[in-house]
Amino acid sequence: MSLTINAARASDSKGLKNRWAQLVIGLVCMALVANLQYGWTLFVQPIHDKQQWNLASIQLAFSIFIVIETWLVPIEGWLGDRFGPRPVVAGGAIFAGLGWVLNSYADSLTVLYLAAAISGIGAGCVYGTLVGNALKWFPDRRGLASGLTAAGFGAGAAVTVIPIANMIQSAGYEKTFLTFGVIQGVGMFALAMLLVRPTPPKLVASQHVVRATSNVDMKPSQMLKTPVFWLTYVIYVCVAAGGVMATAQLGPIAHDYGLATMPMTMLGVTLPLLTMVLSIDNVANGLTRPMCGFISDRFGRENTMLAMFIGEGIALIGIMQYGHNPYAFMLFAALIFMCWGEIFSIFPAICGDTFGSKFASANAGVLYTAKGAAAMLVPLASLLAQGKQWNRVFILTAGISICAGLAAKFVLAPMRSRFVNSQNKINTPEAAIRKLPDLQGID
């Protein structure tokens, strides 16, 4: 049995104030911004072919995008907490659209990097605000709600991978950047006007909940002083490293393996292998977020992390060993995306469980900067793989991911349980009474 709703007024509200309606709006916004990250790998080789910039320099733009997207999210999350989701997501839509439009005119690395920074601001505004919004609307189902919201960011690109790839082939990458930049920016801006400030229901906890949940709301400044946050952060960086590397480098890897343009047929559709792989991977990446969020709601955050992080390590080794076979490449690439995509539901949920809902957007945003730290490894992966030596990258990221899973289960879980229990004891009504001054003898 999960948490039960004591006062269901918020979930039963009509129209746009219905929390499920708000969740759907957020999911669609996330789908529209997803291409900024998950469609990037389609542009890398065409940019290289036309501009003759080396791949490491081009991929630095991706790292800049990820770093800006993640490291500004605490500020953008704070703005969402303070002013509500509508103005922040609307501003993000403008920046996200402008970034891709500027990409279409980039004739130097400087302009490419500037466009990446602008895109990062936009994506951070949308992502950080909407994940925090979901945590506030659904304190009873944090894993599922954040997973569904993040699923838009993971699976949303699956819808547009094929038209983007086709337009790059027929009209060039510049027109593709321009066209989809305008479509995505305008669409997100319109949907932002439908967002409303969360009014979550009151909750009564069930005795069957297996996860440690705090009844204390901590500000980011307080959260940063806790060892449990920093251990969570390090684990996030470790497991995100393999996934971010795969997201950015899957195209170059497929080209180096000689598979990128190989025609593959599935369900009667024939596509170049790289295009088909990206479509499948984005679906897998999106589906795993609500699925693992739901599982972690039921069976515990760290238990889910253990299974999925070890799974990512095994998938990375699998693509290293068998990836030169096109079918094995498709299989293990999908497993990599499935096993790392769930971090975007579990980590926001575990942050809300541990540090409360009131400052959920800002707190989850601070934790989300771990993805930016992991993105710094993308150019390093290009350097390590010089001469098509991808095995070095796979071994390193697989080992780190497996260690992260073990640390989550056997170090983080008991530490977080002790922390939450201690905070809940400090903030019980009995503890508050004990803190009152002794009034004996006062008339």
Q: Whole-prediction pTM value?
A: 0.74
pLDDT band at 15 (very low <50, low <70, confident <90, very high): low
Dihedral sign from CA coordinates of 190, 193, 199, 201 = negative
Tokens 């955050």 sit at which residue? 301
Rounded mean pLDDT of the chain? 84
Q: Say which residue, 346 or 214, is predicted with more confidence.
A: 346
Tell me, what DSSP letter sits at residue 263?
E
Which pLDDT score, from 0 to 100, does residue 200 have?
62
Which pLDDT score, from 0 to 100, does residue 24 have?
93
Q: Where are the domains of the chain?
A: 4-421
Q: pLDDT per residue over 336-358, tens digit each?
A: 989 988 888 899 999 989 998 78
Interval 177-199 mean pLDDT: 93
- The region of weakest confidence among 95-109, 160-174, 180-194, 382-396 is 382-396
**Nearest C-alpha neighbor of 333 from the set 243, 405, 399, 398:** 243
Q: Say which residue, 185 or 165, is predicted with more confidence.
A: 185
| CA end-to-end distance (rounded Å), the chain | 50
Which pLDDT score, from 0 to 100, does residue 428 have?
56
Q: How far is CA 345 from the centre of its chain?
A: 7
pLDDT band at 284 (very low <50, low <70, confident <90, very high): confident
Q: pLDDT per residue over 64-77, tens digit each?
A: 998 898 888 888 88
Fold of 4-421: Growth Hormone; Chain: A; (1.20.1250)
pLDDT(427) > 90? no
pLDDT(374) > 50? yes
pLDDT(268) > 60? yes
Which pLDDT score, from 0 to 100, does residue 3 have?
42
Sequence-distant (6+) residues with CB within 8 A of 380 are: none
Which pLDDT score, from 0 to 100, does residue 102 have?
95
**Nearest C-alpha neighbor of 390 from the set 259, 283, 269:** 259
- How much of the chain, in percent, has pLDDT values that exceed 70? 88
Q: pLDDT per residue over 429-438, tens digit each?
A: 444 444 434 4
pLDDT(439) > 90? no
The H or E element that residue 278 is part of is helix 273-299
